Amino acid sequence: MTAVVDEQTASLKDSAALEEAARRCRRQIVKMVHRAAAGHPGGSLSAIDILTALYCNRLKVDPANPDDADRDRFIMSKGHASPGVYAILHETGFLSEEDLHSYRRLGGICQGHVDMKWTPGVDFSAGSLGMGLSFGIGCALAASLDGSDRTTFVMLGDGELQEGQIWEAAMAAVHHEIGNLKVFVDRNRIQNDDFVDKQMRMFDVALKWSGFGWSVMEIDGHNMDEITASIDWLDSITDGPAVVIAHTVKGKGVSFMEDNPKFHGAAPNDEQLEQALEELA
C-alpha cells in the first residue's frame, strides 16, 4: 500500500468488500436510470468497479467537507456516466438516497451530466466529451503551484478518445511533466451509435498513449486485484503522467446490457429492472 493512504489503511476494503460495494452501486445505477426513464447505464456499469476502488481506498476526499481545497480531485470526463458517479458518492456518504431520486428531475442536485455546481463531491462540470483531461491538467498544475501532494485522477471513455482535444492535452501533460495526474481509460468498446471500432477504428489504444510519452498499463477493469494494483502503479509514477487502459464490458453485471450498444443511453423497462436487480442481488 502506498504511503499516501497509510492513514486510511485501517478502513481499506479488501477485494471482496470492494466487489460487494460495487454490487450495491450497480443496483443504484439501474434503479436511477429506470426511475428517470433516461440516462446512461452502460458506461456507468463498465466504470463502477474502478470508481469503487478509487473512492473507497484511494481518494483523499471527505463527505463532511467536500470542498476541502486540498482534497484529491476526481474528474469524470465522460460526464454522461453520471449514475456511476452518483452511486459511488452515495456509497461513500456524499449523497443521500433521496439525492439519488433527484437524478434528471427538475431542481434535483443530480443533474443529467455530472456538474460541480450542483452536486457535492463532483469536481468538474462535464457532459461535452474531450474536456476532462485538460481540466485535470489545470487541477494538477494548481496542486504543484500549491506545493501540495494531492493527486488528480481523470476517467476518460474510449469513444471519447476520438475528440482531438484529448490529444492536445496528452501532449501537454507530458511536455509539462505532470507527475500528479493519473488517468483511467474505460475501454468498454461501445459508444453512442455502435461499437467504437465500427464508428472509428482505434487500433492499439495503449500504443497511442505510449507514443505520446505516457507511462501505460493495461488491466482487466473488473478485476479488483488488478484495479488495486494499477492504482498503486499509478502512484508509483511521479516523473510524468500515467494512464491505465482498463478493458471493461459495457453494461457489466446485467446480462442483457452487457456488450450491447443499445444500453449506452437507454433505460430499462419495469421487467428489465426486475431482472437486473435479480442478477445483482
Partner 1 sequence: MTLAASRDGYGEGLMGLVGDEKVVVLEADLGKSTKSLWFRQAHPERTFSLGISEQNMMLVAAGLASCGYKPFASTFAIFTERGFEQVRNGIARPNLPVHICGSHGGIHTGTDGSSAQSIADLAIYRSLPNMTVMHPCDDLSTEALTIKLGNYDSPSYTRTARNKTERIYDSDSAATLQIGKGSRLRNGSDVAILACGVMVSKALTAADNLAGQGIDATVVDMHTIKPLDEQLIARLSTECGCFVTCEDHSVIGGLGGAVAEHLSATTPQPLERIGVQDHYGESGDGEELLTKYGMSSDHIVTAAQRAIARK
Would you tell me which residues interact with partner 1 (CB under 8 A)?
69, 73, 75, 115-117, 123-125, 127-128, 130-132, 134-143, 145-146, 164-165, 168-169, 171-172, 175-176
Compare residues 136 and 159 and give the one whose CB is closer to partner 1: 136
Q: What CA–CA distance (Å, rounded) separates 268 from 41?
A: 9
Taking the complex as a whole, the smallest distance from the CB of residue 89 to partner 1 amounts, in Å, to 18
Compare residues 45 and 143 and give the one whose CB is closer to partner 1: 143
Compare residues 108 and 127 and give the one whose CB is closer to partner 1: 127
Helix, strand, coil fractions of the chain, as percent rounded to 5? 45, 10, 40
For 80, 152, 229, the CA distances from 218, given in Å and listed in that order, are: 24, 19, 11
Taking the complex as a whole, the smallest distance from the CB of residue 72 to partner 1 amounts, in Å, to 12
247: region left, alpha or beta (phi > 0 left; psi from -120 to 50 alpha): beta
Q: What CA–CA distance (Å, rounded) separates 16 from 169?
A: 36
Taking the complex as a whole, the smallest distance from the CB of residue 213 to partner 1 amounts, in Å, to 14
Q: Name which of 108, 46, 42, 113 is nearest 76 in CA terms.
A: 113
Do residues 47 and 84 make contact, with C-beta atoms less than 8 angstroms apart?
A: yes
Taking the complex as a whole, the smallest distance from the CB of residue 125 to partner 1 amounts, in Å, to 4
Compare residues 28 and 151 and give the one whose CB is closer to partner 1: 151
> Residue 243 forms beta bridges with which residues?
183, 216
Compare residues 212 and 263 and give the one whose CB is closer to partner 1: 212
Taking the complex as a whole, the smallest distance from the CB of residue 168 to partner 1 amounts, in Å, to 4
Compare residues 100 and 140 and give the one whose CB is closer to partner 1: 140
Taking the complex as a whole, the smallest distance from the CB of residue 271 to partner 1 amounts, in Å, to 37
Q: Name which of 89, 128, 102 is nearest 36 in CA terms.
A: 102
* 273 burial level (CB within 10 Å; 0-12, 13-18, 19+): middle
